[in-house]
Amino acid sequence: MPRFLGFVAGPYSLAAPIGDVRQIVAVGADAHAEPEDARAQATTSLATLLGAAPRGAAQAVLAFDHGDITVRVSCCALRGVLDAAAPTPLPSTAARRHTGLVVGAIDDGDGLTLVVDARVLATLAAGGGGP
Amino acid sequence: MSGGVLIFVAGGARLGVPLADVTRVTLQGRLTPIPFGHRALAGLMRGDDGALVPVFDLQALGAGDDDARPRLHVDGATVAVLGTERGPVGLRLDRLLGTANRYDAHVARPAHGDDVDQEAVEDVVERHRVALSPAVRATLGGAGVPRDASASVGTAPFFFFSADAFVAAVSVVGEGGVRTSAGAPS
């Protein structure tokens, strides 16, 4: 059974295949601290990136690979590891931009969670497109 | 004309859909919002048959405000799930009026693939002083007046809602300049 890392960004309940998440950088109070290493890339709010308002202070920072660099995005909450069947693809009638971002939805016992393509997410976070 | 028509109010407009095009009418389940969704897209619902159904609210089409978003949760909301060539479309109803088995066609429904006579639709809109936003007008496919309707349906004119025309109307050029089947700006 596939495993996903579930996280929340603003109103969105999202998940990524667990192997596609480079690193859980911080969870809890550490998530709102600025990186001590000045060379570290700035953290992008995932909710803002998706055109929504974050809900409260960031509670987790995740890192995704984007070519030779690693992008860091902050989330409103980390839901943990989700075991679920393979995602059901979204119907093409679900009108949206960036159609490659959400590849499907899984039922994790707490409603539908949207599964994102980590590469597309990283591209958006790296400035390759946004709202 | 005969053939059952489901008549309802959506986005403030009195609309109808042939019963043959209605997959089911159901209470709105829990909706999951979708990033970068079209402004009329309220969210994604798991249908009774397990299929994923995007639920739209026509109210947001008439708002004229690009930032207007449909509410995620509406108490007791009814959703009509309609079949289209591209997949299911859920339409949140303001009010379900009922069915009519016979009606007089004011504007004939076009044959499959043909465009509706927009001038004739406009004539009905003007004649009956119906308030319809331009965006909603683009989703219409004919008009009629019920003949044997119940009191809840009444005899006021209704407009056929075309789910296929609606899906086409919310389509835009997606990222990379590729026309997606249903991408759309917020």
ipTM of the complex: 0.88
Q: What does the pLDDT read at residue B35?
A: 94
Domain boundaries, chain A: 3-125
A79 CB-side CA count, 13 A? 22
Residue numbers in A near B36 (CB within 8 A): 50-51, 96-98, 101, 131
**Residue, of B175 and B62, whose pLDDT is higher:** B62
Q: Interior CA angle at B12 toward B83 and B63, to 5°?
A: 95
- Percent of the residues in chain A that have a pLDDT greater than 70, as a whole number: 87
Separation CA B7–CA A126 (nearest Å): 48
The CATH number that domain B23-93 falls under is 2.40.50.180
Q: What does the pLDDT read at residue A34?
A: 63
Residue numbers in A near B35 (CB within 8 A): 12, 50-52, 96, 98, 101-102, 114
Cα of first residue to Cα of last residue in chain B, in angstroms, is: 39
Q: What does the pLDDT read at residue B175?
A: 43
Q: What does the pLDDT read at residue B26?
A: 93
Separation CA A74–CA A24 (nearest Å): 10
Q: What does the pLDDT read at residue A120?
A: 94
Contact residues for A65 (Cβ-Cβ < 8 A; gap 6+): A22, A118, A122
Separation CA B134–CA B136 (nearest Å): 5
- Distance to chain B for A109, nearest Cα, Å: 12
Contact status of A11 with chain B (Cβ, < 8 Å): yes
Domain boundaries, chain B: 2-19+98-169, 23-93
Once rounded to an integer, what is the mean pLDDT over residues A30-41?
A: 60
Across chain A, what does the average pLDDT equal? Answer: 87
Q: What does the pLDDT read at residue B80?
A: 96
pLDDT bucket at A95, cuts 50 / 70 / 90:
confident
User: Cβ–Cβ of A114/B87 closer than 8 Å?
Assistant: no
Least confident among A76-85, A111-120, B113-122: B113-122
Q: What does the pLDDT read at residue B180?
A: 42
Contact status of A97 with chain B (Cβ, < 8 Å): yes
- B67-125 pLDDT per residue, tens: 567 777 777 799 999 999 899 999 999 999 999 888 887 776 666 666 767 777 777 77
